[in-house]
Chain A
Amino acid sequence: MNSTPAVDIKGITKRFGDVVAVDNIDLEIADGEFFAMLGPSGCGKTTTLRMIAGLDFPTTGSLKIFGEEVGTLPPNKRPVNTVFQNYALFPHLNVIDNVAFGLRMQGVAKAGARKQAVEMIELVHLGGLENRKASQMSGGQQQRVALARALVNHPKVLLLDEPLGALDLKLRQEMQGELKRLQKELGISFVFVTHDQEEALTMSDRIAVMDEGKLLQVAKPEEIYERPANRFVADFIGQTNLLDGTVEDASTVCLANGARVRAKSSFPVGEKVAVSLRPERAQIAQRDDAVDGGSAVDGVVESVTYLGNARVYGIKLDWMDLEVREENRPGATLHEPGSQVTIAWDSEAVSVVAG
Chain B
Amino acid sequence: MSSAVTPRGWTKFGLHLNGWLVYLFFYAPIVLLVIFSFSASRNVGTWGGWTFEWYGEFAGTQNARNALEASLKIAIISTVISVVLGTMAALALERFTFRGKQVFDGLLYLPIIIPDVTMAVMMLLFFAEFFDVINAVFGIQMRKGFNSIVLSHIAFNISFVSVVVRARLAGMDTKLEEAALDLYATRWKAFRYVTFPQIVPGIAGGALLAITLSLDDVVITQFVAGPGWTTLPVYVFGLIRKGVTPLINAISVVMLVGSMSLVALSLVAERVRGGEHG
Contact = CB atoms under 8 A, between A and B. Distances in A.
Nearest to A80: B182
Given A76-B181, A76-B185, A102-B183, A136 B175 contact: no
Given A82-B179, A90-B176, A105 B278 contact: no
Interface string B176-194: 1011111111100100011
B176 A88 contact: yes
Interface in A70-116: 74-76, 80-82, 84-86, 88-92, 101-102, 105-106
B197 to A, nearest CB: 4
B181 A133 contact: no
The 3 closest A-B pairs by CB, nearest first: A102-B183, A88-B175, A105-B184
Contacts of A101: 180, 183, 185, 193
B245 interface: no
Mostly helix, strand, loop or mixed at chain B's interface? Answer: helix
Contacts of B173: 86, 88
Mostly helix, strand, loop or mixed at chain A's interface? Answer: mixed
Interface-central residue, A82, A88, A149, A150, by most chain B CB under 10 Å: A88
A76 B190 CA distance: 10
B183 A88 contact: no
A135 B278 contact: yes
Interface string A49-88: 0000111000000000000000000111000111011101
B66 interface: no
B277 interface: yes
Interface of B: 173, 175-176, 178-186, 189, 193-194, 197-198, 276-278
Contact of B181 (A55, A86, A89): A55
Contacts of A86: 173, 175
A147 to B, nearest CB: 13
A133 B276 contact: yes
A103 to B, nearest CB: 8
B278 A106 contact: no
Contacts of A89: 179
